[in-house]
Amino acid sequence: MPDTSPTAAMLVIGDEILSGRTRDANMHHLAGELTKHGVTFAEARFVSDNHDSIVAAVRELAARYTTVFTSGGIGPTHDDITADAIAAAFDRSIDVRDDARTILEDHYARTGTQINESRLRMARIPEGASLIDNPISAAPGFTVENVHVMAGVPSIFQAMVASVIPTLAGGPPLLSQSLTIHRGEGDIAGPLRQLAEEFSDLSFGSYPFQRDGAFGSNIVVRGTNGGRLDEAMTRLAALFEQANA
Amino acid sequence: MPDTSPTAAMLVIGDEILSGRTRDANMHHLAGELTKHGVTFAEARFVSDNHDSIVAAVRELAARYTTVFTSGGIGPTHDDITADAIAAAFDRSIDVRDDARTILEDHYARTGTQINESRLRMARIPEGASLIDNPISAAPGFTVENVHVMAGVPSIFQAMVASVIPTLAGGPPLLSQSLTIHRGEGDIAGPLRQLAEEFSDLSFGSYPFQRDGAFGSNIVVRGTNGGRLDEAMTRLAALFEQANA
């Protein structure tokens, strides 16, 4: 499928998921939001809490894709090293910034919480970054060039995504339709390949599954032209109805 | 934490997860198995069904980590391009190989299935690769140098992981203990940092959560020395019992 839509990548930072302790939820959420907005989600990376790994990944992804989202590592604890790594990746200085400090001070005054040195770490913002609103716990995310730096806590991550997505240039939303075929991929691969070649403006994915000991496949057809998608699905259904007969 | 254990990375290949259609299950499974075997899971990447993206990622990960696992893209359909990409990444030729063809022929003879051109694609193996057994649907995975190439269907992926993991050099298993503290990270960050500095042979992770409107944090301490881990957990519990009083 020729693809001229804007691209996005995600960098998930932290040992939590790589150690097998928890499952990621943020990538799946972002994937759905980007697809709705017509942005192609082209790559995701998970790295541990390691300064050099974060810096290298941010540089590579920011250079390769239109937009990058990061998740995790912007809290107050010693293992929250994302903000410093982002500053390093863009050769910018970083320090507690007055606007971010004010946001935190106002929030903690309202909730009767003591601000301390650890909490103040969350006001460390790379030079020239713009802030991303955190309606849940105040500590802001931030944007440096094409990189949006967000919290890892899913409720906060989702709120930040909701405020950033509308600012991105989107493409036409990517539509998809799917058909479940209860036959092994080996039986359907030949005709499917021919159909995919004929409808080269659409993308055809085949996702095999095994259920109750039998193999099947979900065929997902994606594209931005709803009429062509309908046409392809009609052909697809006829193809395997015929082959099943 | 000084870390001399072997490292692993994973490359998940396919549009399925990046489009938001499904959630990944294989990374979480592999993470648990690697941790038990004492291998540090250092990085995971998700890329779409794009030849150049796969080739570039395989080369980078294979050069950087002790072992690489890939998941997805080795079936019979037109979008299964992993085997060719792996061959390209290592500058090896690829063709239908007799040993892999025999495995498929035997399997299909037993199940009364017709072998065809599409199914035969699953016997395309890069030159010099060794095969990985697939006890579920026969089509083998394969290993080229330090890269293990596996199916994306979770049941098959898991079976292949089970046969590869025992062949890897492991480190001492990484032990972990955790403590849930019902206070915001900002309150515990200071003392936690000091404890982490004192127990520099262990790693301390702080994973914040929000539940019923209140913030808390799971503190996870990891290391290979069980005695030191016990000592740190005792100190950690005392620290926040005291702070709570």
Closest CA to B137 of B152, B125, B117: B152
Average pLDDT over residues A4-28: 90
pLDDT tens for chain B, 245 residues: list them: 445 679 999 999 998 889 888 888 999 999 999 998 999 999 999 999 999 999 999 999 999 999 999 999 999 999 999 999 999 999 999 999 999 999 999 999 998 888 999 999 999 999 999 999 999 889 999 999 999 999 999 999 999 999 999 999 888 888 889 999 988 888 899 999 999 999 999 999 988 888 877 888 899 999 989 999 999 999 999 988 755 43
Question: Closest Cα of chain A to B201: distance in Å?
Answer: 15
- Note the pLDDT of residue B3: 54
Give the integer Cα–Cα distance in Å for B119 and A72.
42
ipTM > 0.95? no
- Note the pLDDT of residue B243: 52
> pLDDT tier at A245 (50, 70, 90 boundaries)?
very low
Enumerate long-range contacts of A128-137, CB under 8 Å, 24 or more apart.
Answer: A128/A92, A129/A92, A131/A99, A131/A100, A131/A103, A132/A160, A132/A163, A132/A164, A133/A159, A133/A160, A133/A163, A134/A159, A134/A160, A135/A159, A136/B210, A137/A107, A137/B210, A137/B215
Helix (H, G, I), strand (E, B) or coil at B222: strand
Left, alpha or beta for A158 (phi > 0: left; psi -120 to 50: alpha)?
alpha
Q: Does A16 sit within 8 Å of B220, measured CB to CB?
A: yes
CA distances from A95 to A55, A120, A126, B187 (A): 18, 10, 7, 21
Give the integer Cα–Cα distance in Å for A167 and A134.
16
Domains within chain A, CATH numbers bracketed: 7-167 (3.40.980.10), 175-244 (3.30.70.1130)
- Note the pLDDT of residue A4: 65
Give the integer Cα–Cα distance in Å for B122 and B95.
10
Average pLDDT over residues A139-168: 96
Contact present, B192 and A77 (Cβ < 8 Å):
yes
| A39 close contact with B: CB closer than 8 A | no
Q: Does B35 sit within 8 Å of A77, measured CB to CB?
A: no
Residue numbers of B between 57 and 76 with CB closer than 8 Å to A: 75-76
